Amino acid sequence: MAVRMTRISVSLAEARKAPPPGLDLGTTFDAIVVGSGYGGAIAAAKLAETGRKVLLLERGREILPGDYPRSLAQAAAETQITTAEAGRLTTANGMLDLRIHKDMSVVLGCGLGGTSLINANVALEPDTRLFEEMEEGPDGKPRPVWPAALRGPLPPGAATMLDAEYAEAIRTLDSVPMPEAIVLPKLESLEVSAKAMGHKVHRMPINVRFEDGPNHFGNYQAACTLCGDCCSGCNYGAKNTTLMNYLPYAKANGAILLTEAQVHWVAGSDGNWSVRVASFGQAADEGIDLSATLVVLAAGTLGSTEILSRSVHLGKVQVATGWLGKGFSGNGDVLGFGFNANWTQAGDGTAAPIFSIGAGTNTPEPVTPPSAYPYMAGPYSPGPCIAGMIKVTWGEGHPVRKGVVIEDGVGPGPLSMAYPAIFFGDDAVNGSQLRFPDAARRLQALAGLGNTLLSGVGVESLAYTTPMAQMQSYLLMSHDDAAGQIVYDAATDAVKVEWPGVGAGAPFARDNALLQAASDAIWADYLANPMWSEAFGWKVITTHPIGGCRMADDPASGVVNSDCQVFTGSGTAVHDGLMVCDGAVIPGSLGVNPLLTISAVTIRAMDRLIARKGWRKVTGLKPAASSTAMQGPPMQAADPLTAILPMAKAGQAWLMDRVERIALGPAQAEAVKEEIVALLQGYVDTFKGRDWLALEAALDAAELTARMQTDIGPALGELAADIAQVIAALETGGPDSEKLPRLEKVLTGIVGDLSSGLSFTETMKGFVSTPLPGRGAAISDPYVVAEARGRAEGRALDGVFMVTTADMNRLVKDPDHKAQLSGVLTLSLPGQAQPEILHFAGGTFQLLREDGAAVDRFLMVYDADLPGGGKFHGYKTLERREGSNWWTDLTVLATTLTLPGQAPMKGQIRLGVEDFVQQVLTVKGEVTADRTLFSLVMLVLRKVALGEFKALVADPDFLNAVVRRLLNSSYAATSGAEGLAALLGLREMEGAQFFANQVFRTYGGIAAYLNNFPALNPTKDPMPDPPGTVAKTYPAVMTDGARVQLTRFFGGTKGPVILANGFGFRGMAFAADTNAPDPSLVALLVGKGFDVWIFDHRASPANMDALGQVNIDYTMDDIAAVDWPWAIDFVRKQRSSDGLAAENVQLLAHCLGGLTAMMALQAGHASGVRQMIVSQFTTQPVAGWFNQMKADLGLSHYIHDGIGKTLAGVIGNEMGNPALTKLLEGTPVFDLRTTVPPQGKPTDAEALDLLINTALWSVPFPPGESCYNPTCHRVFGVFGPVYAHAQLTEATHDALNDIAGPVATLPFDQLARIMQAGRALDAAGRDVYFGVPQRMDFPIHFISGALNQLVLPETTLRSQRWLQEALPKSAAKFTREVFAGYGHLDCLIGRNAARDVFPSILAQLERLADG
Amino acid sequence: MGTVGLTVVLSDFHAGAAESLLTVLDASYRPDPAQVSPTTQAFAAAFVPTIKALASRYGKPDLVLLGDVLDLSLGRPEDAARIFAGFVKAIGVGGLFGTIAFVPGNHDHALWTAERYGATAGAAKGPGDAAFWAHSSPAFKPPTAMGTTTLLNAILAAGGVSAKVATYYPNMGLLPQTAEAGAARRLAVLHHGHFIESAYSAMSSLLAAMRDKAVVPMTAERIEKENGSWIDFVWSTLGDDGRVGAEVTLAEELMVTGGASYALQGQVAGMLARQVQAGLGLPVSGLVETWTNRVCRGVVDAVLGSYADLERFDYESYLSSASVDGLQSYLTQVVAAQLAEEVPDHGPGDHLTFIFGHTHKAFADALVVEGFTAPVSVYNSGGWVLDTADLSTVEGAGVVFLDDALNSAMVQVYGLTGGEAVHPAQVISADPQPDERNPLFQAVQKAVTANAAAWGTFSTTVAAELRKKQDFYMALGDRVEARAARKPGVA
């Protein structure tokens, strides 16, 4: 059943134009009530019952059930935003009123019904002991918080002095607990939490109807559909808002309700009051004064305090101001979420849903009480916003102020499109995926959510499926110290809450810890309010603002007395007829939802007023009658894009009708022509002046010469066919997110590129100073130091930046595309009276482009030339690093300001949260329309006149211009084309998605890592032949069957030099061009005239057979005894056959290449080497701890041989993971490459890949190095720190999948022994390589990276010393160099290796280049 | 402290320790206290004329010895005393400087303890009365009001200096004698630097853990009271047992060479494995033994090995982020509390210069510190030792200068560059004003340039001496490995 409502109010504007019967705005009312929440509605009804002439003024609109927002767009339209700094940012009179403040933000309701429209219905009495609470007075002595009249002494049997009033409120508001028969998963999940915390769940009374029928005041209400959207306005008439009970009752008994009536001030004194009221959004001086003998301010905690403060500020009224605005409390509100919960704790990959998102645009399953109960909730029926609570440390036995309640919650459905992205991002960044033993399930669920979000298809349903459906929302209430202040700011003419440091203090850390405990119990990632974090400055938000006009026994402690009468400021005297009745009077946090206490206090105040005045209830009071029952389901909103469909169909029908009639013959064609001319005349007549004249002439000419049958008819037919395609795209099913790409594809096919533009304004503030040379490098960031100096010296820099691009798509997708930047900088310098103001235009802005010079780093770059020759440069860095955070990354601009003739100033300027909100509101997506309507109409008319209309409509450029004109947001907005506006809105989301994606990529933790972004990057061959040469490859099969190869790049006769890489890495890595424009080592040597030979010994992944198999089951000895002799021999022979010097060769061998080359030479297997450069690993290695540990654990053995089939099977089975069994059975080869992002259900091989990637997530990286590249984790897992990340370009890091490959696992056994012993041993463990050092009597140069943590730099030092001691006469031949800041392989492939390392290598090789 | 125009700060000689550049080692790498090291000689040749050049402008400067002057943990006290006396003599400290002040460090902390106990017993008279010799001293009192350090007095006397060292602990403070009109008020605080590392306040952390919360703000008195004995025990008295050079502490051995630390890990793991097997009563079987050994080795590698690597590679950066945090908290707590007490008219707008040593990596920078509006100028006076076998670090030594207006500058007398090269002496500054407007920087620069040749010789000498220290480490490492019986192929 649904309800049909009639309006009970008129707007002030309507009333001023045409007063409704019984209203004379000039009269003196018995009472004016300001506000229509619990206080206002109760006051108005109570006064109306006594026959008083009551006028109620409400600033919001009267919005009836059925008209509350369901979609994101509707919710946005119903949202007001006011920031403390900038004042109001929105103009609409929406029902949701957000006040964004520096420390504590506040959510308010606005509409007839006040906050009762958007609250969560909970009708709870506080802990009765609260009324006896004491606080510290200004003299340091304890004093009671509540006035004497509410403290007691209590009558016998009473729990509080408000017992009767609480009972009355429970009765009139129809507060009942949700019936036991209704079973909600979110309540069951809350019970699991309660049990774990040693408590129970209580179902408390809530103001919701669970049966169809009349309420206490006789108004009809429908039963709750369990849609969950209590907080965005109940569209079903099941919520007991004051709009459903007290207000229509007051109206039925003579009260007049005016909406959109904003009260600015109250003026006057005892019994003689006037109220200045204006229409919402109008200035005060456009309003009127209304008179009354009684004014009841019930405009809410902020509203009433604002009206009183402004009235005092303007001198309109004299009241006690000592406490005005003070004693503000957020009621200890804490919002939090348990995300991706697995409270069923099922290990089988499933998890029971919790459902805590409201239905929004979806239809809740209808429930027909009471026969349908017990009821199991479905995705669109989560249940009332709050249905139960856990009382923690509450009641007797606990200090009253330690009392905490934890309630379940439901996120409003209209925001359902926004939640998945928000929670996905928050969970990826802040969640701990490995906290519970079901990591595989939660990661898969999270990855699934991420994939859908990134693809954008099917986002509508995401809020209701895994893992969003497994979310518990929590609202916690506790006690704060009510030390906030509501401050009236005359500049913005608004109030703001000031409460420095509130979020960093009690009770928020404890309360979040409690929610974390509740969340842990259901195996959920606890996500606190994201603003409650260090990066945001511990900002908090309350939905329960309290205080500002607190009640007290005297003005020394409050603003009103216990009867809600306002103190005059003279002793304890109160004004006659000026009252405050709402949350503002509550003197401290209640620790529970406050609506019932606000109601009780108002009931008491009104009853006592009526008693004081001797008024009596009149007889014959009428019931409320604004609502009746209505059959049929309630109206649902349609997808916005669907709204385009009827437009398109009508257009197509119109066109086809004309085409057919034209085809019938000249007479009909003539009639059609007349119709069209009439139509066009209408357009032409919308122009004025010369434009009109020109168009009129063109129309005449076109009419004269139009060729209806040969030109116009076919042209219209063509247009109709185009529109048919649009219709087809829209008619195919699916949600808007699926229709949009289809529609875009069709439109692009017909008219070409339709990319839209984007603009926004960003305001940042900070400080700059002239940095001192040589400072700020050793331990500090120079920008941070410069900012602090600037702050100390008073050098402030504020910037307003306007970013505009005609092509958002390119800005997002093309890293080189720059948007336009214009704006103004304000530089305030000490001793300068006027700040310097610098306007600039023509600057550029780059959106998060990859910083090629670093791994996982993105830059946002601002550049502008300033007037007079100055320059502005700024950049933001999105990068994980110690202490960094995505929010600070995206909001702190490292700034360099250079003014002519002055030293550059550096510093940082920052975007504050409030400015960010403002910025978001300035974001505009816009399709630019180059052609004016005039030019388009003119073009059409000319072409018609020439008989070329058919050709014109076949021209995509023309159609493009027309569609752009249509899509132009200014046109779409003014033409009322909701579908077009929606299309633009969806496109704007692409930009937001891009940001979210980048943040996820950078900060998304294991989820982002498993997504394997490097594998998704577009690839090109990272190892092309160096310029000017062509590779010549010589593969060979050794006598023992192993495959090896040599690749020759002939740059000249110098050398020959043989380059060999380490284990698992291709020799061609030395030719990678991923550091362009810097040359690779190979390119450098070739360029210098060397005959370069890349040697891929058997441990290189280059030696794959046709099936992709690499060599397995070999030893280091094999490489030393077989591969190296062959390679040296082959090169010499080839050189000889080329007629080149072939006596001996130069070697550059890295890591395992170096070890085995030294083994080959030390053992005498090979000779003919005149010079060798050994990189990092020698025959005397000193391993870093990670490799020591792996060697000591004997890991290589288990990787090769496994742990035995039986044990592997048991473990795999136990963990429900067949891939694990496979892994534990052992493998002769391990692939360092992985390209599998988790999409869809993985194959067995992909599952194994994912398992390995997951296991290697926590492989130890050196401090500050951890990256999100799964291949890199494999490399570090197998070998340890192969490079210092800081030395790699993003391109090199991304190319790991090409550079590295499969490695055999058996050789690790021997490697482990060698590392344990600290010297080369043969595979049997014998010390056979050091007997004849004389074999090494030729120049050997060792190189090490100073940061090599794989094998310490000491490795090369040991070998150098061994040789120097063994061959003292040749000591000078053995040289060594250590490179600062370098690790292992990065010495040869690092981004600056060409600058830092190669010159030294080249010098060494050049020294003996020609034998 | 004094009213003289120029203050010179030196620290971390670690005299007596084998790895000190002041200590000459014999063929078997034992300290030879009879010799004055080549580094000392080359330093004297460059430093003395540089100071004299400055003295002609500023008058005879004051000297501050900022801790770890003697190494009582890694060297015999008698060696330390003789070697430092040799240094004092070679420099001609007596003729070169006026007042001499001493701020003990961790390796000569025992001197502070000794004086404190002596004072308690009534041995100290005058300015150093019992109340005065509490756990910490005032920072901003003049030298005449301070107690002295007996052993150091004696060493200086042996080096020809008659002055008594005024002793401050843990902080010494300086106020400007002259100030520029309109400029921010300046202050300087000098501290050896050990308290910026958490290991030296470990007892405070332990107490905080037991109390369930830390005492905030930590004060100079409290941090010393809670940790002084611990510092003596671990860092300041071990040298007294005489087994120096050949045998050092486990922590030091871990750092000698990578090979030595691995050998030691093996020893520790072996002990652990035997205890585990015995303690748990595991069945005697080859498999159990293998696995117990492997797991114990793995655990020890992951704990001790990763610690040793972390420490080793820490020498690649000027200050680890943990130490930067420690520095911040020392300034916001200990220093701020002392300023509030002793310089009551100090405000957050004052400019602070903070000088410390201890880390052996000389640098100059500015740091944003909570509670101080302007960035704090920070100097590290570096050290005169090589801490590991690696020369690929940023270790080095500095001489910090302050004038009577508390303008500041430093001569980085030598420094490793992260590779193995040694950079020559250079003048740098963390002063809040540009170098060209900093009269002290200009004067020091001029004095160093005038003696460029001598400083050049000094760099070459240090480079060669560092190689010798590297030899010492390699030999010591070999000895540790041999003792740990690290045999090829035996896990």
In this predicted structure, what is the pLDDT of residue A107? 95
Query: A208: which strand partners?
Result: A239
Res A447 pLDDT > 80: no
**Which of B293, B356, B420 has the highest number of chain A CBs within 10 A, making it the mutation to test binding with A?**
B420
- Over 90: is that where the pLDDT of B72 sits? no
Q: B365 and A1316 in contact by Cβ < 8 A?
A: no
- Strand A182-183 versus strand A375-376 pairing type: parallel
Q: What is the DSSP letter of A805?
A: E
> Which of A390-404, A680-694, A1066-1080, A1214-1228 is predicted with the least confidence, judged by mean pLDDT?
A1214-1228
B283: confidence class by pLDDT, cuts 50, 70, 90: confident
Least confidently predicted of A279-283, A552-556, A927-931, A1038-1042: A927-931
The 3-class SS string of A983-1049 reads: HHHHHHHHHHHHHHHHHHHHHCHHHHHHCCHHHHCCCCCCCCCCCCCCCEEEEEECCCCCEEEEEEE
What average pLDDT does range A987-997 have in this prediction? 68
Query: What CA–CA distance (Å, rounded) separates A1221 from A1204?
Result: 10
Question: Quick check: bond before A437 cis, omega within 30?
Answer: no
DSSP assigned state of A776: S
- How many angstroms away from the CA of B312 is the closest CA of chain A? 10
Alpha helices in A1204-1269 (DSSP H): 1205-1214, 1218-1224, 1244-1255
Return the structure tokens found at B378: 């920070």
A1260/B389 CB distance under 8 A: no
**Do residues A930 and A964 make contact, with C-beta atoms less than 8 angstroms apart?**
yes
The answer to whether A783 faces chain B, any CB pair under 8 Å, is: no
CB neighbour class for B12 (10 Å; exposed up to 12, middle 13-18, buried from 19):
buried
Q: Confidence class of residue A774 from pLDDT cuts 50, 70 and 90? A: low
Window from A317-331, A629-643, A1311-1325 with minimum mean pLDDT: A629-643
Closest CB to B305 among A775, A777, A1189 = A1189
Of the pLDDT bands very low, low, confident and very high (cuts 50, 70, 90), residue B181 is low
Q: Is B467 on the interface with A (CB under 8 A)?
A: no
Which residues neighbour A612 within 8 Å (Cβ) at sequence distance 6 or greater?
A: none
What is the C-alpha to C-alpha distance for residues A413 and A432, in angstroms, rounded to an integer?
Answer: 27
* B373 reaches A (C-beta below 8 A): yes
Distance CA A1178, CA A1355 (A): 7
**Strands, sheet with A525-528, edge to edge from the N-terminal-most edge strand:** A201-202, A389-392, A404-409, A472-477, A334-339, A525-528
- Tokens 């200050």 map to which residue? B319
Give the C-alpha separation, A508 to A532, whole Å: 9
* Nearest Cα residue in chain A from B349: A792
> Worst-scoring range by mean pLDDT, A694-698, A990-994, A1303-1307, B398-402?
A990-994
Per-residue model confidence (pLDDT) at position B337: 93
Nearest CB among A1263, A1313, A1353 relative to B392 is that of A1353
Q: How close, in Å, is residue B487 to chain A by CA atoms? A: 6
Q: Span B464-475, mean pLDDT?
A: 93
- The yes or no reply on domain A1032-1180+1320-1407 and CATH 3.40.50.300 is no
Nearest to B491 among A770, A1316, A1378 (CB): A1316
Interacting residues of A207 by C-beta distance below 8 A, sequence separation 6+: A116, A121, A122, A123, A173, A174, A175, A239, A240, A241, A595
Q: A74-128 pLDDT, tens per residue?
A: 888 899 999 888 888 888 899 999 999 989 999 999 999 999 999 999 999 999 9
Between positions 14 and 53 of B, the ones with CB within 8 A of A are none
pLDDT of residue B291: 84
pLDDT above 50 for A370: no
Subunit contact B373:A791, Cβ cutoff 8 A: yes
> Within 10 Å of residue B243's Cβ, how many Cβ atoms?
12
E strands, A478-564, where? 485-489, 494-498, 525-528, 540-542
Q: With the C-alpha atoms ordered A412, A415, A416, A422, is the resulting torsion angle positive or negative?
A: negative
Strand partners, A28: A291
8 Å CB contact of A1192 and B301:
yes
Q: Do the domains A1-117+209-332+484-497+538-636 and A1032-1180+1320-1407 sit in the same CATH topology, yes or no?
A: no
Q: Which of A424-428, A491-495, A642-646, B310-314 has the highest mean pLDDT?
A: A491-495
Å between B300 CA and nearest CA of chain A: 8
Contacts of A198 (CB under 8 A, 6+ apart): none
**Long-range CB contacts for residues A615-619, cutoff 8 Å, separation at least 24:** A615/A50, A615/A51, A615/A52, A616/A50, A617/A49, A617/A50, A618/A49, A618/A50, A618/A51, A618/A253
Q: What is the pLDDT of residue B362?
A: 95
User: What is the gyration radius of the CA atoms in chain A, in angstroms?
Assistant: 39
Strand, coil or helix: A927: coil
Query: What ranges in B281-346 are assigned the alpha helix state H?
Result: 286-300, 306-314, 321-329, 336-342
Residue A586 has pLDDT above 90, yes or no: yes
Judging contacts by C-beta atoms under 8 Å, the chain A residues touching residue B428 are 774
pLDDT band for position A536 (cuts 50, 70, 90): confident
Is A1364 near chain B, with CB under 8 Å?
A: no
Q: What is the mean pLDDT of residues A1157-1162?
A: 98
- Position A991 scores a pLDDT of 65
Closest to B183 in 3D by CA, of B366, B2, B433, B436:
B433
Q: Which residues of A touch B486 (CB under 8 A)?
A: 1317-1318
pLDDT of residue A604: 97
Chain B, 224-243: which have a CB under 8 Å from a chain A CB?
none
A1343 neighbors A1360 (Cβ within 8 angstroms): no
pLDDT for the residue numbered A420: 84
Tokens representing residue A809 in the block: 């798509």
Strand partners, A1046: A1034, A1095
Kindly state the average pLDDT of the residues A280-287.
Answer: 93
- DSSP secondary structure code for residue A126 in this structure: P
Residues forming beta bridges with residue A785, ordered by sequence position: none
- What is the arithmetic mean of pLDDT over A267-278? 94
Q: What is the pLDDT of residue A440?
A: 72
Nearest CA in chain B to A1347: B313
Q: Whole-angstrom distance between the N-terminal and C-terminal Cα of chain A? A: 98
The CA–CA distances, whole Å, from A870 to A762, A1231, B489 equal 21, 54, 68
Give the pLDDT of residue B264.
84
Whether residue A1048 has pLDDT greater than 90: yes
- How far apart are the C-alpha atoms of B209 and B36, rounded to whole Å? 47
Go through chain A and tell me how many residues it has.
1411
Topology (CATH) of A1-117+209-332+484-497+538-636? FAD/NAD(P)-binding domain (3.50.50)
The CA distance from B162 to A734, in Å, is 95
A101 in contact with B, Cβ within 8 Å:
no
Domain ranges of chain A: 1-117+209-332+484-497+538-636, 183-208+341-478+502-528, 646-754+931-967, 757-926, 1032-1180+1320-1407, 1187-1303
For the cut 70, the answer to whether the pLDDT of residue A949 exceeds it is: yes
In angstroms, the separation between the Cα of residue A786 and the nearest Cα of chain B is: 8
Residue of A nearest to B308 (CA): A1185
- Provide φ and ψ at B399, rounded to 5°: -115, 120
pLDDT tens-digit map of A1113-1144: 999 999 999 999 999 999 999 999 999 999 99
A1331 lies within 8 A of chain B by CB: no
Residue A1253 in tokens? 């990637």
Q: Are A57 and A625 in contact (CB under 8 A)?
A: no
Question: Mean pLDDT over residues A738-760, rounded?
Answer: 78
B332-364 pLDDT tens trace? 999 999 999 999 888 888 899 999 999 999 999
Average the pLDDT over each of A28-42, A428-442, A497-511, B187-201 and give the range with the smallest value.
A428-442
Measure the CA–CA gap between B448 and B456, rounded to whole angstroms.
10
pLDDT at B327: 96
Of A168-172, A354-358, A818-822, A1190-1194, where does the model show the most confidence?
A168-172
CA distance B403 to chain A (A): 20
Interface test with A, best of B264, B295, B313 (most A CBs within 10 A): B313
| pLDDT reported for residue A129 | 93
pLDDT higher than threshold 60 for residue A973: no
* Predicted local confidence at residue B205, as pLDDT: 83
CB contact A1400 to B (< 8 Å): no
Give me the half-sphere count of Cα atoms (radius 13 Å) on the Cβ side of residue A1349.
26
Chain A closest CA to B276's CA: distance in Å? 16
pLDDT of residue A1357: 96
Cis peptide before A21 (omega within 30 of 0): no
Q: What is the pLDDT of residues A668-689, one digit of tens each?
A: 999 999 998 998 888 888 888 8
* CATH numbers and ranges of domains, chain B: 6-199+316-472 (3.60.21.10), 249-313 (no CATH)
**B65 or A857: which leads in pLDDT:** B65
Chain A CB contacts of B262 under 8 Å are 1182-1183, 1188, 1318
Residue A1027 scores a pLDDT above 90:
no
Q: Mean per-residue pLDDT for A317-343? A: 94
How much is the pLDDT for A849?
82
Query: Could you tell me the CA-to-CA distances from A959 to A750, A930, A941, A953 in Å, in that order?
Result: 8, 12, 15, 7
Q: In the predicted model, is pLDDT for residue B51 greater than 70?
A: yes
Supply the DSSP symbol for B429. -
Residues of B in contact with A1353 (CB under 8 A): 390, 392
Out of B309, B419, B487, name the one closest to residue A1346 (CB): B419
Q: Which residues contact B241 (CB under 8 A, 6 or more apart)?
A: none
pLDDT tens digit string along A1366-1393? 999 999 999 999 999 999 999 999 999 9
Does the beta carbon of B485 lie under 8 angstroms from any beta carbon of chain A?
no
Confidence of residue A1214 (pLDDT cuts 50, 70, 90): low
Of A777, A1182, A1316, which has the smallest distance from its Cβ to B258's Cβ? A1182
pLDDT above 80 (res B212): no
Is residue B123 predicted with pLDDT exceeding 90? no
Handedness of CA A570, A573, A575, A578 (dihedral sign): positive
Residue A1179 distance to chain B (closest CA, Å): 12
**Residues paired with A864 in a beta bridge:** A872
Are B392 and A1380 within 8 A, CB to CB?
Answer: yes
> What distances in angstroms separate CA A613 from CA A39, A576, A609, one per listed residue?
19, 11, 6
Parallel, antiparallel, or unpaired: how do β-strands B6-10 and B62-65 relate? parallel
**Distance, CA of B225 to CA of B405 (rounded, Å):** 33
Residue A452 tokens, joined: 């859908």
B371–chain A Cβ distance below 8 A for any pair: no
Q: Is residue B4's pLDDT more than 60?
A: no
Mean pLDDT, range A1105-1111, rounded to an integer: 91
Q: Which of B305, B312, B435 sits opposite A773 (nearest CB)?
A: B435
Q: Does A617 touch chain B (CB under 8 A)?
A: no
pLDDT of residue A137 exceeding 60, the answer is yes
**Band of the pLDDT at A371, cuts 50, 70, 90?**
very low
Distance CA B265, CA B304 (A): 7
- Using the predicted structure, report yes or no on whether residue B240 has a pLDDT greater than 70: no
- Residue in B with minimal Cα distance to A1180: B259
Instruction: Report d(CA B444, CA B423) in Å as an integer.
Output: 18
As given in the structure block, the two tokens for residue A486 are 């509501």
Predicted local distance difference test score (pLDDT) of residue B1: 41
pLDDT band, very low/low/confident/very high, at A806 (cuts 50, 70, 90): confident
Q: Are A231 and A629 in contact (CB under 8 A)?
A: no
pLDDT in the model for residue A1238: 56
Does B131 have pLDDT greater than 60?
no
Interface of A with B in 1153-1182 (CB under 8 A): 1182
B78-106 tens-digit pLDDT? 899 999 999 999 999 989 999 999 999 99
Across chain A, what does the average pLDDT equal?
89
pLDDT tens sequence across A474-531: 999 999 999 999 999 998 899 999 999 999 988 999 999 999 999 999 999 999 988 8
Average pLDDT along chain B: 87
Residues of A in Cβ contact (< 8 Å) with B290: 1194
CB B244 within 8 A of CB B76: yes
Under 8 Å CB pairs connecting chains A and B tally to 172
Q: Is B7 helix (H, G, I), strand (E, B) or coil?
A: strand
